[in-house]
């Protein structure tokens, strides 16, 4: 049974930090391309970050410099460290995974994450001003 389970969301004030986690199971995730996307109420899904199996990362311009994506393949866990949070970061955050070739070297590959084949149920992040 393939599963991605996010945790770590919550409510913080602007300028605060959160670290999201995504535990995966049911497949050999270490070779997969993984990432995070988010969806605010009434908005389109938006890719946030991508990380390849060898740790190469690409970020959306809206979060670059404030967010770090990482993975621990031994623990089958994906992370998203978010700093200097802004009210506009308020959204449901989802982790996602896809085949290794999805981690292309395009600078805007983060836009593909909402279409990745495996997705979790999401964790809510709320940032107040």
User: Tens digit of pLDDT per residue, the chain (129 long)?
Assistant: 789 999 999 999 999 999 999 999 987 788 999 999 999 999 999 999 999 999 999 999 999 999 999 999 999 999 999 999 999 999 999 999 999 999 988 999 999 999 999 999 999 999 999
pLDDT of residue 2: 80
Residue 111 class from Cβ within 10 Å (0-12 exposed, 13-18 middle, 19+ buried)? middle
pLDDT of residue 120: 97
């Amino acid at each position: 049974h393939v599963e991605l389970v996010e945790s770590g969301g919550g409510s913080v004030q602007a300028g605060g930090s959160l670290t999201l986690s995504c535990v995966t199971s049911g497949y050999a995730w270490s070779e997969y391309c993984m990432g995070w996307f988010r969806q605010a109420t009434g908005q389109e899904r938006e890719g946030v970050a991508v990380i390849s199996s060898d740790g190469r990362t690409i970020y959306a311009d809206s979060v670059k410099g404030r967010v770090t994506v990482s993975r621990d393949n031994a623990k089958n866990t994906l992370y998203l460290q978010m700093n200097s949070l802004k009210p506009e970061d308020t959204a449901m955050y989802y982790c996602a995974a896809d085949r290794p070739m999805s981690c292309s070297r395009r600078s805007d590959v983060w836009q593909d994450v909402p279409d990745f084949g495996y997705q979790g149920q999401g964790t809510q992040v709320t940032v107040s001003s």
